[in-house]
Amino acid sequence: MSDFVEIRRSTYHDSVALMQVSQQVRATPGVQEAQVGMGTELNLGLLREAGFALPPEVGANDLVVALRAEDAQTLDAARARLESLLAGLHERAVRAGDGQGASAGGAAPRTIGSAARRSHASIALVSTPGEHAVLDALDAIGSGLSVLLFSDNVPVADEIRLKDAAAARNLIVMGPDCGSAVVNGVALGFANVTRPGRIGIVAASGTGAQQVMSLLDLAGEGISHCLGLGGRDLSAEVGGRAARQALAALAADPATEHVVIVSKPADPGVVAALDRLADDLGLPVTWATLGRGRPDLTAAVETTLRAVGAPVPTWPSWPSPGHDAAPGGAPAPARGSALRGLFCGGTLAEEALVVAEPVLGPIASNVPLEGSPRVGARDLGTGPDHLVLDLGDDELTAGRAHPMIDPALRLELIRAVGEDAHVGVLLVDLVLGHGAHPDPADELAEALRTARSAARARGAALPVVVSLVGTEADPQGLGACARVLAEAGAEVFTSNAAAVRAALAHLSGRPPQTPAPVEAADGGMPDQVADPGVRPAPRPGPEPATPPTATPAPLGGLLAADPEVVTAGAGLLADALRAQAVPVTEVDWRPPWPGVGAALAKVLADPRREAANALALARMTAAQAELVRIAPASEVLGLAPGEFLHSGPPLTWERASGPMRGALVGAALVEGLAGTPEEAEELLAGPGVSLAPCHSRGAVGPMAGVVSPSMWMFELHDPVHGTRAYCSLNEGLGKVLRYGAYGPEVIARLEWMRDVLGPVLAEAVRRHGPVDVKAYLSQMLQMGDEGHNRNRSATLMFLRDLLPHLVGQDRDRADLAEVCRFVGGNDHFALNLVMPACKLAMAAAADIPGSSLVVTMARNGTDFGIQLSGTGDAWFTGPAQVPEGLFLGSYGPEDANPDIGDSAITETAGMGGFVMAAAPAIVRLVGGDVDFALSTTTSMYEITLGENPALQVPILEFRGAPAGIDAVAVARTGLLPQINTGMAGRIAGTGQVGAGLVQPPAEAFVAALQALAERVPPTTGE
């Protein structure tokens, strides 16, 4: 016996796809166990139980592959099979990305919002796991899409919240747990292929809707639309929220003449209210609500047909050519006496209970009628009692696909029935259509044959009745499936109710009974009970017309246009749409980080968020930046002796890293506060000095970012918002203070900058007048720079603008020449202009309640800190990472200090790593290749609120830079902002050792979102 375990980091496929892979690998001969799944605790526990040895560090975002085979050779075969299946999944993902989504710039969309922006979609099909589905649905609504929420396990409070949020935007949420809808002939989820027609369906039940639409199609009637509601919509709690919208939309739809409302038992108050609404809308409706004493679905369809003046046909059925029985004839006596119903369709199972109970008495089920015995979903044991199971029930689908997709469990149970002497008749359903198993009849027929021969082997007969829901136009083909099943010895009915009655006939030995007209049962339902419920309503005017004063199209025009769809979750559902020639944009969905779900849900539901973020983005992009003054920090910031500013979030000397300490030592020496580095260290460790972040004073500093009172500062002004930002003058590269060097040459240069460079540049700026720095930002992207690690063009533009005002100064010509040489020779000089310009943009976007925009990313060499617009001055930190990249000279990774500097303000504002595509040469400095530069920029659009039209990326057809990092998008996609950065030496005094790429720690974003969630005001009614 050989085991194989492999962990694939950060690989994500949807669960249906993975279950199919596991199933297919398991089918390899000699393979005893095959599990391919995400490394969740639950999955890992199961694998350990199965005896697999797992490595310790497996996360929920890792794909775990565990195979067990009888020998090494078989194991190799299984691995090969697995590889090809996973490659197939990958190919599908690539193909999905290859569609229109990819043409927007390479990266597949990671959120519904992103997919919506790049398509003309009107609806999102969400089938992500329940705990995340609410977030995805909110994202869809926020992006102006209606939602078909396929996912289950969504709390009812969330359902109400989603439906209200959608209605407020003239959109609809169909679901949760909504399996079926048809919009303009397009099947979303599970639905049958029906002819277009005049009957609209509003359905709180998936397979119930499929039964109704299939029967209507068989009767020659067509469907205009089928709008799903989710199973709870007609409960008192949800109050028919989606049903009201659906009825109004269908009333305004010119194609719809009559509506059927399909539901499991519904709240009488809700039913009455909907009836009144239909009356007001002039919309004739038929109710097909299942329940004791209520007409079955087939009867409701017949009522509908009569209401629209269409003939009621004989519903097609296929007798079995087998020897057991012929429908209508005298069934052969069965050995057993119990009914076994094994259903995939929940509503079909329920209908079976409703139809059979009056004949058989109480029937055990995992979804029993009130007062009947409940059996555990896995308690499928044999016995003399009647039993009807819904194998699609939530309890049974946790961790496995719905039996309409993966029939394995049901087939196993069917085979077992053959051994059960108690069983008198086996009743199963088979639902065809889009989304269902592509070829279900052969497997089912095989299982039925096995069961029947097992029964024969013990000398018993096992009659089998199949309720087949589908149409001839379904991909699987109704007739073809029926014949396959009939050949296997089953009687096949297109009416589920008729199938149940045929099964009862086998038990009683009498021919099937046609139902007596149903009498009002409990009075719980309104007047439509006696006659199964047509509400004829006069249409206003001589012909169905557009209302005289047209209001906005209902549901945002969902029913008027041919659908385009965004899908998130099961790839199978996207494939089913493609097979219908529907344009699909598939989201490359990944689960959000663990532990952030509750905060995300709260933040996403904050009604202020959208407007707050829009305002933040508008302010950020509107901000201007003019260099208005150069003066010492003592003057512009009021910095007193002994006060030092540093980069990043707040820091103490004890926690400061080598380069930060080195820079502080150098600054103390420059200020004359200490005579030697040792004295300086003693001073800095004592109580006499104060350390504060640059950001706390409206300033930014590259690398260590240390500012002391005598240092000259650029002062930039934003005339739009009236704010100011500051940054020191750049010292150049190599051994410099900001990289932690403090040797004599460093101190000498700083003194020259204080005595010559500062005053000369200050006078030049005075003479020139305000210098438009924002224009440099726009221009440098056209010239191959990204503003963080490439600032050559902006430096030269700055020098060009100031030159006339430098040469005209009445000073020592040698000093002026040295200033020109120093500025022109330092490719990074303009970094210290770009940074405060970016700071002005972010300052403009700060302090907007409810906004999840990141306004600061900064590092101090120990911590990485971020600030959000909606959380004021609070810092959220995590450990600074060591960048990966290229090293100078003989330095290597072991020499590098963790990430340091306020220069990530450039990325925060959409420069630097976010516009690497505009500066492909940067990869020679920071590592990576040109492709990486391109894909980095395109992927950053997934986490930003918008684009900055002033910062255009030529190679992306002058698309605006990705601007405004949304902390919510970061957490949802798991995509971290990409930062280009310099690397400082770990040991104080070393200076620069290289440049590279780095990302913030995820925990900073988690903490920030939790704080933002705490500030969400309680909504009314909570």
Partner 1 sequence: MPTTLRLGMRHAGVTARPVAASALAPTWLHGASGPATVLAVGESAAYLGDGSGHRREVLALVTPAGLLLPGAVRVAAPADLHALRLIPGAEARVGEGQVRTATGALVVRRTWRPRRAPAAPLPRHAACRAQEALAPSLPLGAPLGPVADRGEALAAALGREGAGLAGPVAALVGLGPGLTPAGDDLLCGLLLGLRATGQQARQTALAAALAAALVPHLHRTTALSATLLVHAAGGHAVPAVLDLLEAWHRPGAPAAQAVLEVAAVPVARLGHTSGAALLLGLHLALRLGLEAPATPLPTPDAVG
* Per-residue contact flags (x/-) with partner 1 for residues 458 to 497, judged by CB under 8 A: -----------------x----------------------
Q: Does 1018 bind partner 1 (CB under 8 A)?
A: no
β-strand pairing of 699-700 with 723-728: parallel
CB of 989 to partner 1, least distance (A): 59
Give the range of 446-454, 510-518, 551-559, 648-656 binding partner 1 by CB under 8 A.
551-559
For the residues of 85-123, what is the DSSP string, one character each? Answer: HHHHHHHHHHHHHHTHHHHTTSSPP-SHHHHHHTS--SE
> Of 15, 184, 782, 999, which lies in the binding site for partner 1, with binding defined by CB under 8 A?
184
Comparing CB distances to partner 1, the nearer of 88 and 879 is 88
CB of 564 to partner 1, least distance (A): 6
> Of 90, 120, 276, 821, which lies in the binding site for partner 1, with binding defined by CB under 8 A?
120
CB of 572 to partner 1, least distance (A): 7
Q: Does 778 bind partner 1 (CB under 8 A)?
A: no
Q: Does 24 bind partner 1 (CB under 8 A)?
A: yes
Contact 17, 86 (CB under 8 A): no
Give the HSE-up count for residue 616: Cα atoms under 13 Å, Cβ half-sphere.
Answer: 32
- By CB under 8 A, the residues from 530 to 549 that bind partner 1 are 545-549
- By CB under 8 A, the residues from 303 to 362 that bind partner 1 are none
**Number of shown-chain residues binding partner 1 (CB under 8 A):** 41
* Per-residue contact flags (x/-) with partner 1 for residues 426 to 455, judged by CB under 8 A: -----------xx-----------------
Q: Does 567 bind partner 1 (CB under 8 A)?
A: no
> Of 137, 186, 423, 956, which lies in the binding site for partner 1, with binding defined by CB under 8 A?
186
CB of 70 to partner 1, least distance (A): 23
CB of 615 to partner 1, least distance (A): 18
Q: How far apart are CA 296 and CA 518, in angstroms?
A: 9
Q: What is the DSSP letter of 916?
A: G
Give the range of 93-101, 883-891, 902-910, 927-935 binding partner 1 by CB under 8 A.
93-101
Contact 284, 534 (CB under 8 A): yes
> Of 217, 221, 324, 575, which lies in the binding site for partner 1, with binding defined by CB under 8 A?
575
Give the range of 550-558, 672-680, 754-762, 940-948 binding partner 1 by CB under 8 A.
550-558
CB of 82 to partner 1, least distance (A): 14
Residue count of the chain, please give it: 1022
β-strand pairing of 387-390 with 338-343: parallel
The position carrying tokens 């526990």 is 45
Q: Does 890 bind partner 1 (CB under 8 A)?
A: no
CB of 131 to partner 1, least distance (A): 27
> Of 516, 550, 687, 889, which lies in the binding site for partner 1, with binding defined by CB under 8 A?
550
**Over the range 547-561, which residues count as b (16 or more CB within 10 Å of their CB) and which as e?**
eeeeeeebbbebbbe
User: At 712, phi and psi to the nearest 5?
Assistant: -80, 140
Q: How far apart are CA 797 and CA 811, in angstroms?
A: 23
The single-letter code of the amino acid at 498 is A
Q: Does 105 bind partner 1 (CB under 8 A)?
A: no
Strand locations in 247-289, DSSP E? 258-263, 285-289
> Of 1, 579, 748, 807, which lies in the binding site for partner 1, with binding defined by CB under 8 A?
579
Contact 666, 684 (CB under 8 A): no
The position carrying tokens 């006696």 is 530
In angstroms, the Cα distances linking 96 to 107, 109, 381, 575 are 11, 10, 44, 9
CB of 130 to partner 1, least distance (A): 24
CB of 98 to partner 1, least distance (A): 7
Comparing CB distances to partner 1, the nearer of 8 and 120 is 120
Give the range of 97-105, 598-606, 667-675, 842-850 binding partner 1 by CB under 8 A.
97-105
Helix (H, G, I), strand (E, B) or coil at 617: helix
Comparing CB distances to partner 1, the nearer of 259 and 1009 is 259
Comparing CB distances to partner 1, the nearer of 16 and 854 is 16
> Of 32, 76, 88, 733, which lies in the binding site for partner 1, with binding defined by CB under 8 A?
88
Torsion of CA 689, 693, 698, 700, to 10 degrees: 110
The single-letter code of the amino acid at 958 is F
Q: Does 15 bind partner 1 (CB under 8 A)?
A: no
**Over the range 246-264, which residues count as b (16 or more CB within 10 Å of their CB) and which as e?**
bbbbbbbbebbbbbbbbbb
Torsion of CA 665, 666, 671, 672, to 10 degrees: 70
Comparing CB distances to partner 1, the nearer of 197 and 512 is 197
- Within 740-863, where are the H helices? 744-752, 758-768, 773-782, 792-807, 813-824, 831-844
* Per-residue contact flags (x/-) with partner 1 for residues 215 to 254, judged by CB under 8 A: ---------------------------------------x
Axis crossing angle, helix 206-218 with helix 346-360, rounded to the nearest 10: 80
Q: Which of 978, 701, 1015, 965 is nearest to 855 (CA)?
A: 965
Give the range of 180-188, 315-323, 851-859, 907-915 binding partner 1 by CB under 8 A.
180-188
* Residues in contact with partner 1 by the rule CB under 8 A: 20, 24, 88, 98-100, 103, 119-120, 184-186, 196, 254-255, 437-438, 475, 545-553, 560-562, 564, 572, 575-576, 578-584
